[in-house]
Amino acid sequence: MHIRGNMLWLSTTHFSDEEFDMIKLREESFDTKQDILKALETAFDLVYQRVKTTNEEEFTKTVDFFAGPKSKLQILNLLHDHVTHHRGQLVVYLNLNGIKPAQYVGW
């Protein structure tokens, strides 16, 4: 859910006109594995649509970010890198617990 929250925060804040609601995000709860998987799938789809519909010139614009000014392209790269980082952690965790992770599916 950390991955999902980060994707929603970055995509809402930098690739939409909506206001990100951290309180609402923190209050969400999911009861089953299927609910969690659906929430993740929906988040990935939403981010994809937001980035896909972003005008190419927008990616060169600089935005305020807690780590200093960044271009929207840098924000997109950060979003991707964050997902990759945590996916790698999850693969290691699964392997250490004798669980074979799902095969990586590329682009």
Q: How many domains does the chain have?
A: 1
List the domain range (segments joined by +) for residue 51: 2-96
Residue 25 lies in a domain: yes
pLDDT over 70, % of the chain? 98
Residue 106 lies in a domain: no
- Please return the burial class of 68, using the count of CB atoms within 10 Å of its CB with bins 0-12, 13-18 and 19+: exposed
Residue 43 lies in a domain: yes
Residue 104 lies in a domain: no
Q: Which residues contact 101 (CB under 8 A, 6 or more apart)?
A: 90, 91, 94, 95
| Closest to 13 in 3D by CA, of 99, 94, 75, 95 | 75
Residue 86 lies in a domain: yes
What are the tens digits of pLDDT across the range 28-73? 999 999 999 999 999 999 999 999 999 999 999 999 999 999 999 9
* Mean of pLDDT over the chain: 94
Residue 105 lies in a domain: no
Residue 91 lies in a domain: yes
Residue 42 lies in a domain: yes
For residue 68, what is the domain's CATH number?
1.20.120.450
